[in-house]
Chains A and B, each alone.
Chain A
Amino acid sequence: MIRLCLLLCIGLSVWGTNQAADYLRNQFNVRSSGMSGASVAIPNDHRFVYNNPATVIQGRNGVSFANFGKIETQYYALNYNKVYEKFGFNLGFRNAHLDDIILTETSQNPDISNTPLADYTPHTVLGSSSWDAFVYHGATAYSMPWADVGISMHYIHENLVGYTGHAIGFNAGMLTRYQDYTFGASVLNAGTSAMRWENGTVEFIEPTYAIGASTRILEDKLLVTSEIQTQYDTNWILGAELQLNSAVALRVGNSNTNLSFGVGIALQSYEVSVSYQHENRLYNNDIFKLEVSLLWD
């Protein structure tokens, strides 16, 4: 079965993207990053809200902040979670920032345009600028007899070296338990989201589907999870978390794109998670992430 899954995953994988807001594919939750991005079917942690809004109801009250850098870009994420008896809500935002983008234009001088490029510079440096993306979300989840279900809405605002674009998207997810297994499924940007740029260009964010399962073994000390995420390519993830004691957890994961490790430390109301991902597609392929959470009941 596993072999079949692997073959399916590799067969579905394609190379390249023409999707808007591609950066949203980065995993903002650091516990998840320590397990190669597994996030859709892990119970009792609202910080997976970015990938499955149903997790909101299974978490605690708290604030979490995450930070990491990848491909010249700095990412920040902050979310606040509030849980009541039968429902919960989560508010948060994510920011991506990249600067020192050198702006140039081709020389407008007609003499230059007829000159071999090796003779003169083809570019005129205009200065430099930056790119920013802000993603704001609101999520809510309800506890049903058969499952926990959640929905969320997000608003994306991008500033691309002075050009702006925005989009609104909707996500949905569910978590359910059967015997010793937790099953989860989610769809992000359900029905396709449209990114509208100020010049009238409209681009689309295709839905991301995820489905997975998790269970605890070894007297509940070891969490094992597996899931498949698919957008324009398919990513199969296998992750595990070993709870050494009440304070320390070790994580490991593997996927089509990365090998990951992580550590979580819980001290009273505080939790700190760090993760390391080795991206096998990149030159600068070592990615470190940090998340700090303040949680209370």
Chain B
Amino acid sequence: MLRVFIGLIISTVAFGAIHVQTVSVNATESVFLDYNKTQILQSNLSLIFENGLGKVSDAFKPTNNVSAVQKSTFNIAMDAARGRTAEATTNLKAYPSTASYYPTDSNCDYKCLITRYFYLGLLSVTGYNANRQEKTIGEWEPHTPQLMLAIDPDATQLLISETSEGIAMPRILPNGLYMPKEITATTPTFNIAPTLNATVSQNLASLGTINVPSFNKYTAVFDVHVIGHELVPTNHVLYAANTLAQWLDNQRVGTPNTWETVVRQLTAVSGSALILVPNASTQSLAAINLSAPGVLNGPNPFNPGIGQTTRFQYTLGNDSTVEMHIYSLSGTKVYEAHRQRGKRGGAKGFNSDITWDGRNNHGNMVANGVYVAYFKFTSIDGTVFSKCKVVVYK
């Protein structure tokens, strides 16, 4: 028995030694799950791919016709992954056993297949697909970056490298926490580019008998305009801008990588420095408002020993009363802060007013470790909770 016990100890130590060294760069999983925004992400990435990237990059250019003589490298990689070049809408289940991408959606034509291949490939390369395999059962095999490299080396190379046009894919998947400027509910004063008017009309037509909405939601990211009409939930517009911001700022430094790259990537995004929010979601505005805002703090870790503070940021769907309670892992409350509804820190939109200097409410500096900040947001729509993990290291 003692030997068994010692064996358990040793194996646990070994496991711990390996485990604690694991630092991933893509684990914004929980954020996505909290936001339930993967549909919006898919819509936005599809928009970026079809209207921007696929137009300016020879390597990614999608082909409408399966029998086209000249296909892009990405197109060829998809055919290899599917193990066939036939139209997707015929003999849908006749994929060879070697296929790693075998979609069976009869509504998805050949161009649509490439767009989805791009979406799934990017999610696998950035590591996001690893924990959501159940979402892609029946159409997608390479769930991890390692599998992508082994199964789809050509596509992987395209997704992790800069194209000959100087366009780079996001290194970290947009996670909803990289907030651009606060959205303003004013009618944009610029004209919608003619090339996108068709898209606008298509969106309006999909609304059926609803009166033509006005485009009253507007924000800008690095001089790229993001607009949405009155029927699009505000959070969707923000998230579209967020996706765009993270696309442009792959280095996560707060500004676009370089201006030259930006110009190219702006083109890649939309072809006309404008992105539209797709009207794909059926979620109601109320439902969006009731979802808990994601909270991010930074810097994290922070060092109160040298006077650093950490700042909490979140975006509110409505004016809210905000309570923040920070607990140590034993359950001891070490700090709390409150903000009034509609005031700084409790106003609709982006907020970053609450900070923590690493001291408890008695003024004593807390010990190194992890502290959990629980947020309670109360608005006219109800009460929701959120949290984030704060690391103190002096």
Please report A residues at the B interface, Cβ cutoff 8 Å: 14-26, 61, 63, 70-73, 78, 80, 82, 91, 93, 95-109, 111-112, 117-132, 134, 136, 158-163, 165, 195, 197, 199, 201, 203, 233, 257, 279, 281-284
Contact = CB atoms under 8 A, between A and B. Distances in A.
A108 B298 CA distance: 12
Interface of B: 1-2, 5, 8-9, 12-13, 16, 19-31, 172, 175, 177-182, 252-255, 296-301, 305, 311, 313, 325, 327-335, 350, 352, 360-362, 364-370, 372, 374, 376, 385, 387-389, 391, 393-394
A7 B366 CA distance: 27
B327 A104 contact: no
A25 B313 contact: no
Given A16-B333, A124-B298, A125-B296, A283 B385 contact: yes
A81 B163 CA distance: 63
A15 B360 CA distance: 8
A17 B328 contact: yes
B27 A128 contact: yes
Contact of B331 (A19, A162, A199, A257): A257
The 7 nearest A-B residue pairs measured at CB = A123-B298, A16-B360, A104-B298, A107-B254, A159-B20, A128-B27, A127-B25
A283 B360 CA distance: 19
A123 B296 contact: yes
Contact of B329 (A15, A71, A128, A165): A71
Given A106-B298, A111-B255, A19 B367 contact: yes
Given A18-B365, A121-B254, A131 B27 contact: no
Given A80-B5, A165-B368, A281-B333, A18 B296 contact: no
A95 B5 CA distance: 15
B5 A102 contact: no
A70 B298 contact: no
21 contacts: A15-B333, A17-B367, A21-B369, A23-B330, A24-B330, A71-B329, A72-B389, A73-B329, A96-B329, A101-B370, A102-B296, A104-B298, A109-B253, A120-B181, A123-B313, A126-B25, A130-B22, A136-B9, A160-B370, A203-B367, A257-B331
B329 A26 contact: yes
Given A102-B389, A104-B297, 19 more contacts: A17-B328, A18-B360, A22-B329, A22-B369, A26-B331, A72-B372, A80-B2, A100-B29, A102-B28, A104-B296, A105-B299, A106-B298, A128-B23, A128-B28, A131-B370, A134-B12, A161-B23, A161-B393, A283-B374
Nearest to A132: B20
